[in-house]
A and B are shown apart, each in its own frame.
Chain A
Amino acid sequence: MRYHLRRAVRPRLLVPALLVAGIVQLGFTAGGTEIGDGFGPWGVARLYAVMTPIVLVGLVAVLSRLWHDDDLRSNWLLSGADRPAVVKDTYRNFGAGFLVYAGFVVCLGVFAAFRLSDTPGWSLPLLTITVVGPLSGGYIVLAAAYAVARVAGGAAARTAVVTILVSLDAINQLPWLPLSASATSLAANRALIWGASLKNLTFAEVAPSTGFVVARIVLVVGATLSVALVALRFRRRLYPR
């Protein structure tokens, strides 16, 4: 994993940049955005709903070097990598990119935590919203894009998958909400996946619906398997038979 994380130099640099930008944009304009003065569950929801698509679309472009097929292929050929090694390295390669994204999400969460420090009982619900929301959603979107790009053979396919999914999420037109990157969009709130709309909830009342969580888990498992399947497909074509 460390090898692949080293290769993600530029994407990693964007994490502190986002933190600074977030502080400037949101920290100094409190009350001036739709997040408002009362930065409760609704503030967290809007923060994630607005920022997650931006982060994903921005990140997928700079991840193309890390996730470049030719680099992986070259190392696998040089090492004569067998099947388990190819699958493991594929996960490490994907995981390095996802960890950079997770770094962004943690930055957003840290910012939210600063804004919430005066609110009682915020920590566990914030963690729940973050994990069920942008963390798992981003994983699903990125893994789907990673797998499609491997099959379609290009960074353009990866960018297209991410752009389509997060755009539909941003405009509240996703055909199936478990695919939502943030899970805090207006559509998600209307579908009451957090028990009620986060606008009307206190942190103590935040409880994601079982159906949504199960669907999310199924998608995470499916996305993980799809990465393994494309690794095996890629490996089959690595050495001529």
Chain B
Amino acid sequence: MARKVLTLAEVRDGSLRNVSFEAIAAAKTIAEGGEVVSVLVGDQVQAHANELIYRGADRVVVIEHPNLKFYTSDGYSQALKAVIDKEQPEGIVFGHTALGKDLSPKLAIKLDAGLISDVIAVEEAGGNIVFTRPIYSGKAFEKKIVTDGIIFATVRPNNIAPLERDESRSGSVEALAVEIKDLRAIVKEVVRKTAEGVDLTEAKVIVAGGRGVKSAEGFKPLKELAEVLGGAVGASRGACDAGYCDYSLQIGQTGKVVTPDLYIACGISGAIQHLAGMSNSKVIVAINKDPEANIFKVADYGIVGDLFEVVPLLTEEFKKLKVHS
């Protein structure tokens, strides 16, 4: 059954987030041969429209308005509702990002619809579109289907492979004028706390520190390693509670759930709280002084040793690799 499916593209720091392309890939599966329409919302975002076509969208609808410069649920829901009313899609896919998490339930109510959040896989099976999502902090999974109304889902970044970029693809880009008004919550200021760009939930490589890092200063070698690998720095609850780093870096049952290609745990004991947030990473490396540390039970590769000795050596070794390749 061919369906028309809408996706929401997200722009951050002037570029499209990868999850925008992953949403298009998920939408293709849901569409079963139908049309995929990507929606670009913001203030001066039209320039990104073609990239969405290259990544698999059949059409792009652009809604620009000064009141959409910052995300607000009121502003964005007015924009999205206008496109939905016009396009009458049978499916919608957002990223399961701060924005997608905040916006999707509100729209689901407006559409009197269900919503399957935080999806890591989507497939057609037995006449249904079946969504797989983690439950119980990633310690189990469930498969869900929509039984009534529009098929609405949010996809977790870094899990659904985007389609191959194809510059020969073409498709129409349309602007839709929507009056955005009566915002009941206003963003006064955005305070950047995350360093240099790479978002934890989207990072391909994460270097995480635990209590073994011993101080805020102790994160420095981890940052250097992450930088060489183009990755992000994360932390265990222990390191956050001890005040070595900001809670925004916390990975675990409380904190962020991440699934990078490579997770390097440094001085992390591997409490269940932490494992819940990272154990679905593709490859896990553990560096810990204690050979009995729990983290070694989930690690693919382990080095028993002092992280302050191992991590700088590792950074050097990767630097060499970069020079050679």
Report if A and B associate in a common complex. no
Residues of B within 8 A of A (CB): none
Residues of A within 8 A of B (CB): none
